[in-house]
Amino acid sequence: MHIGELAERTGMSLRTLRHYDEVGLVTASGRTEGGFRLYTHDDYERLLLIRRMKPLGYSLEEMAELLDVIDGVTAAQPDADAKLDGFVRSASERREKLRTQLEMADEFIALLDARR
């Protein structure tokens, strides 16, 4: 698929997709004769994974590291499972922090509503 279709399907901007390509997070699987980027379903799945990491506050470097780990698990690299376990723990901790922040936001909204 072309970058525009990928942007529409993932809900990401063209600028973001181009940036991810430049930094090597998700590179186009091919190019047309005219030089336009072409993406596969695997590229789409990779972008969805990245999109799911963003709310948890992962940096681009951490995202790249996790993608490398996932690629390693797929390739059956010996230490990939242990690294993946570390990312699962990290994601769980980040999720808990978000849950706490949401509770605090709900309390704040309730306090404001009570002042009406």
The per-residue pLDDT for 88 is 96
113/71: higher pLDDT: 113
Q: What is the pLDDT of residue 80?
A: 85
> In whole angstroms, what is the distance from residue 116 CA to residue 33 CA?
62
Q: Is it the case that residue 77 has pLDDT exceeding 90?
A: no
pLDDT at 78 over 90: no
Q: What are phi and psi of 31, to 5 degrees?
A: -140, 150
Residue 6 structure tokens: 């990928």
**pLDDT score at 73:** 73
At residue 14, the pLDDT reads: 96
pLDDT of 76 higher than 80? no
The arithmetic mean of pLDDT across residues 107-115, rounded, is 97
User: What are the pLDDT digits (tens) for 35-61?
Assistant: 999 999 999 999 999 999 999 999 999
pLDDT band at residue 75 under the 50/70/90 scheme? confident
6, 54, 60 from 43: Cα distances, Å = 9, 17, 17
Domain spanning 1-56: which CATH class is it, in words? mainly alpha
When the pLDDT of each residue in the chain is averaged and rounded to a whole number, the result is: 94
